[in-house]
Structure 1
Amino acid sequence: MARAGQNTPLEGIDFGPTGRIQTEFPEPAPLSEHGPARIISLCNQKGGVGKTTTTISMGAALAAYGRRVLAVDFDPQGALSAGLGVVAHDTPTIYDLLLGHTKDPHEAIVSTKVPGLDLIPANIDLSAAEVHLVGEVAREQILASVLRKVSAEYDVILVDCQPSLGLLTVNALTASHGVLIPLECEFFALRGVALLIETIDKVRDRLNPAIKLDGILATMYDSRTLHSREVLERVVEAFGDSVLETVIGRTVKFPDASVAGVPITDFAPEHQAAKAYRQLARELVARGAVA
């Protein structure tokens, strides 16, 4: 045992919320060329865990680091579109692309207020897509065929999935190279992760052998509560290095940014949440999930 005043090997080392030594991820180098895109689905069958917020903020952070980003709103609620200030009523949407009403994805892509971040919007029409697609040949691969037409123009494509494990989510997983699972630091959110990973494994076995788990992102973390700390500890115990070092804290700034229709990285760039999403972007680049 070290005597009083004597330094121990762990003194001066910063540990992050996940219990691991805090890594300072470097700012990624600029790209000399763009594409082809790596497609990442943000997926969790539980709602309200931060999928849309993460898609917006992470996409904006990656764009700020010089990556060309396409966000795909794949939820009939259209929260991603609204969160980026896009009204999807009289323009082609992802629904039109899935059903073939619009053949060219470029007709549905809209620019956002964030330079380098584009969007394929969605609205309530998408809720009817599963019914229409159920009789289609290779119905699980329709989104993949849509995104293939624009993949060369982007570095990363982020698909914001609906809180369901239905045909739309299976389409997203079939089209994707990786999956990012936002997980609220709350006990009932933890229970569904095993089912989601089982679904990913089935998609890997039957439809998309290349898909991999890019990481589990702890969201809505509150270090002041024992419950949040215990849930995060259990997640790290269960999934190890699959849990990202970056942790997103709970803050009222997120709904404020959503109302403004801009990412938290633009709405409050010096806020801790904005810094966390920039760190998330750097971590994903460091892990090789994004070029």
Structure 2
Amino acid sequence: MGAYPELWYTATTGRRITSICLFFGFRCESCRLEVRGMTVTIVVSNQKGGVGKTMFSVHLAEYCAERAKVLFVDVDGQGNSTRFFLDDRAKAGKGASRLFSDGEAPEIIKVRENLAIIPADKTLNDVEAAPLEVIMLPRRHLAACAAGYDVVIIDTPPSQGRRLLGALIAANAVVTPLGLDKASFEGIEDLLNDIKVVRAKMNPSMRHIGILINRFKPANKEQRANLRALQADLGDRVLSTVLQDRSPVGTAFDNRKPIWKRSKGESAQRAAHEFRAACELVYTRATA
């Protein structure tokens, strides 16, 4: 874990963190998940920006909220997912930055029935200058904040750092959106290594659901070749559902709606089908 050499010289744990088993029951007659016991925490992460991480995060939250009670957590200082659900970020120091402090719990804002958010705030980026030990705090805070919620979804910043590590330590499942242009491949190896090390050292209950290909341009020869190479290298770690690059998705996001609520036109309908399929796949694997 080259980006965090000091991690292995701090006594943040001193002992193995024991995972809590999760038990799930399924009500087949209504195709809804009934969660018994602890909450399922899904982290959406990639250390590279521009791969559609936030776009998928908010769609996953919208999908899950149709089936379960969802708490969305925005630890990306840009606050784009917060603005999708709310008018603006929280006041300085009252939102997700509190997950990394020993002080008060962060504010939880109800968006609508079955969906609430811990928003990004204006001091969130300051977390990266805090002592490394703060990476252990989000798990503890979320254990209390998420009581009564079935699913927690965490949107992470597009970089290595304390916020990403804190999210991974709190996670049950991780999904990685990835573009197929050359620039998007940068950092994927480091992220997969970070996930592996965090799972081995601090969070053995975490599972990497896989890599979700996003913004795929099937007419682009280079992207087709990159997809084949990635599938050959990583096998079933690359999810079978692929999200193509479709302009209605961005328009829907700007209008603060999931793509399946803006389904006029063939391109929008195809995008809606792809996003629902991807969300269903991630949700099913995370709660299996």
TM (norm. structure 2) is 0.81
Change (3 A) 1:50 1:216: same
8 Å contact 2:42–2:175 — kept in the other structure? Answer: yes
Q: 1:222 aligned to 2:224?
A: no
Larger relative contact order (CA 8 Å, sep ≥ 6)? 1
Change (3 A) 1:241 1:51: same
Write the distance in 2 (CA, Å) between the matches of 1:163 and 1:71: 17
Q: 1:112 aligned to 2:114?
A: no
Q: 1:129 aligned to 2:124?
A: no
**Aligned-pair identity (%):** 28
Change (3 A) 1:52 1:35: farther
Q: Which moved more, 1:122-131 or 1:267-276?
A: 267-276
Write the distance in 1 (CA, Å) between the matches of 2:260 and 2:39: 23
8 Å contact 1:190–1:231 — kept in the other structure? Answer: no
Equivalent residue, structure 1, for 2:45? 43
CA RMSD of aligned residues (A): 2.3
Equivalent residue, structure 1, for 2:278? 280
Write the distance in 1 (CA, Å) between the matches of 2:169 and 2:85: 26
Residues 10-43 of structure 1: CA distance to partner in whole angstroms, max 9, x if unpaired? xxxxxxxxxxxxxxxx998123456522111111
Equivalent residue, structure 2, for 1:82? 83
Residues 38-82 of structure 1: CA distance to partner in whole angstroms, max 9, x if unpaired? 111111110010110000011111222x12221110111111101
Write the distance in 2 (CA, Å) between the matches of 1:33 and 1:208: 21
8 Å contact 2:249–2:259 — kept in the other structure? Answer: yes
State the structure with more CA Rg: 1
Equivalent residue, structure 2, for 1:204? 199
8 Å contact 2:91–2:122 — kept in the other structure? Answer: no
SS in 1 for 2:123: helix
Query: Following superposition of structure 1 onto structure 2, how do residues 1-291 of structure 1 map, counting pairs within 5 Å?
Result: 29-32=31-34, 36-64=38-66, 66-90=67-91, 92-103=94-105, 105=106, 108-112=107-111, 115-131=113-129, 133-134=130-131, 138-268=133-263, 271-287=269-285, 289-290=286-287
The residue type paired with residue 31 of structure 1 is L
Write the distance in 2 (CA, Å) between the matches of 1:174 and 1:203: 7
The Cα shift of 1:245 comes to 1.2
Residues 247-271 of structure 1: CA distance to partner in whole angstroms, max 9, x if unpaired? 1111222322232222223333862
Q: For structure 2, which runs of at least 5 residues remain unmatched after alignment?
A: 1-27
Number of equivalenced pairs: 257
Q: For structure 1, which runs of at least 5 residues remain unmatched after alignment?
A: 1-25
Change (3 A) 1:55 1:28: farther
SS in 1 for 2:175: strand
The Cα shift of 1:101 comes to 4.5
Change (3 A) 1:127 1:28: farther
SS in 2 for 1:174: helix
Equivalent residue, structure 1, for 2:10? none
Write the distance in 2 (CA, Å) between the matches of 1:71 and 1:261: 15
